[in-house]
């Protein structure tokens, strides 16, 4: 226990003597962690935007006015047989006419043309939603058989699908940039820690030699630097999470306006706080410990 407390004491003394370099190490680690957290925020927002668009996608199957109830029920049964279908709503021809008039109430020419036709020229409609946008094409293909061609017409959803594809492309580009930034900060942090410990060991080479002469093991000499790695990891993760919490406090209200849901980012981080903190702390600790061990290997060969 005495040796353990001495190791901790030497670690704090060394960090204090190299306060400037210690500050730079923590700063680089914080920047690296902030870039990683930015990547996660981008991913959460992208998933939310994609899901929001998916929830608005549906396909309306319009029937001709002379389609019989039996024919409509037959097609409805075909659609229900697909496991990808989440919901299927039937709108009768009378309601379709009411909806059409409501949609074009500001256009008297269309309403006048409708009155001239007499009766209801519109047929019933089926509105369906699927789990994924790509599933619509399966249903449209299934309804493209000759016996249904004179009865139904599927509404295109290409514009919405294109919007999802654009979001995916933009997201991938942003993720690549942030990931590259994270790797850059990790490399810089590794080099700074490596050279900081090398400088520290070089300046203390006489002190280290004396410790070894009086019987100190290599692990006793390594101990303070490994404890410093732990200290740097704890401080950098703590500062990063403080910055993230502050950023989410200001960003979340704007995200709420866009998606109509409150505290999306905050709720995500709170629900994953243990996983995120342990993963980031473990990654930073591994980086700093590896840098320390590599820096000391040259000077502390048995």
pLDDT in tens, 135-157: 777 877 777 777 777 777 655 55
3-state SS, residue 22? helix
Shared-domain flag, residues 293 and 174: yes
Shared-domain flag, residues 195 and 134: no
Q: Select from 156, 171, 206 the last residue of a domain.
A: 156
What integer pLDDT is reported at residue 302 of this predicted model?
46
Shared-domain flag, residues 124 and 230: no
Domain that holds residue 191: 2-53+162-297
Shared-domain flag, residues 242 and 267: yes
Shared-domain flag, residues 141 and 219: no
- Is there a domain that residue 30 lies in? yes
In tens, the pLDDT along 212-256 reads 677 767 677 777 778 888 888 899 999 999 999 999 988 888 888
Query: What is the residue-level pLDDT of the chain in tens, covering all 302 positions?
Result: 666 677 777 667 777 777 777 788 888 888 888 888 888 888 888 878 777 777 777 778 888 877 777 888 888 888 888 888 888 888 888 888 888 888 878 888 877 877 777 777 788 888 888 877 777 778 777 777 777 777 776 555 555 667 667 766 777 787 787 778 777 877 777 777 777 767 766 766 677 677 767 776 767 777 777 888 888 889 999 999 999 999 998 888 888 888 878 888 888 898 988 998 898 898 888 888 887 777 777 666 54
- Is there a domain that residue 67 lies in? yes
Q: What pTM, to 2 d.p., does this model score?
A: 0.69
3-state SS, residue 83? coil
- In sequence order, what E strands does 131-221 have? 152-154
Torsion over CA: 231, 233, 236, 238 (sign): negative
- Is there a domain that residue 175 lies in? yes
Per the structure, the count of domains in the chain is 2
What integer pLDDT is reported at residue 239 of this predicted model?
93
What integer pLDDT is reported at residue 160 of this predicted model?
61
Shared-domain flag, residues 172 and 292: yes
3-state SS, residue 152? strand
DSSP string across 214-279: TT--HHHHHHHHHHHHHHHHHHHHHHHHHHHHHHHHHHHHHHHHHHS-TTHHHHHHHHTHHHHHHH
Q: Select from 103, 121, 156 the last residue of a domain.
A: 156
- Is there a domain that residue 268 lies in? yes
DSSP string across 87-122: EEEEE-HHHHHHHHHHHTTT-HHHHHHHHHH-S---
């Amino acid at each position: 226990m005495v040796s353990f407390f001495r190791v901790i004491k030497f670690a704090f003394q060394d960090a204090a003597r190299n306060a400037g370099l210690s500050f730079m190490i923590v700063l680089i680690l914080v920047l690296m962690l902030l870039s990683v957290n930015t990547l996660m925020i981008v991913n959460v927002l992208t998933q939310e935007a994609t899901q929001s668009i998916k929830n608005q996608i549906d396909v309306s199957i319009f029937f001709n006015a002379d389609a019989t109830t039996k024919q409509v029920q037959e097609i409805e049964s075909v659609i229900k047989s697909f496991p990808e279908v989440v919901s299927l709503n039937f709108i009768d021809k009378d309601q379709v006419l009411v909806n059409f008039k409501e949609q074009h109430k500001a256009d008297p020419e269309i309403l006048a043309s409708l009155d001239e036709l007499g009766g209801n020229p519109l047929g019933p409609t089926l509105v369906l939603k699927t789990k994924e946008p790509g599933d619509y094409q399966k249903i449209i293909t299934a309804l493209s058989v000759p016996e249904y061609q004179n009865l139904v017409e599927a509404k295109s959803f290409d514009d919405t699908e294109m919007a999802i594809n654009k979001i995916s492309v933009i997201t991938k580009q942003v993720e690549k940039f942030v990931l590259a930034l994270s790797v850059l900060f990790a490399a810089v942090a590794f080099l700074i820690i490596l050279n900081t410990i090398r400088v520290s060991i070089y300046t203390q080479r006489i002190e280290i030699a004396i410790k070894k002469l009086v019987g100190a093991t290599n692990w006793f000499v390594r101990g303070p630097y490994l404890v410093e790695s732990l200290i740097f990891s704890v401080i950098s993760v703590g500062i990063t999470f403080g910055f993230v919490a502050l950023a989410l406090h200001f960003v979340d209200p704007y995200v709420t306006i866009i998606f109509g849901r409150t505290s999306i980012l905050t709720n995500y981080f709170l629900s994953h706080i243990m996983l995120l903190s342990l993963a980031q702390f473990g990654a930073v600790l591994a980086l700093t410990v590896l840098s320390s061990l590599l820096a000391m290997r040259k000077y502390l060969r048995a």
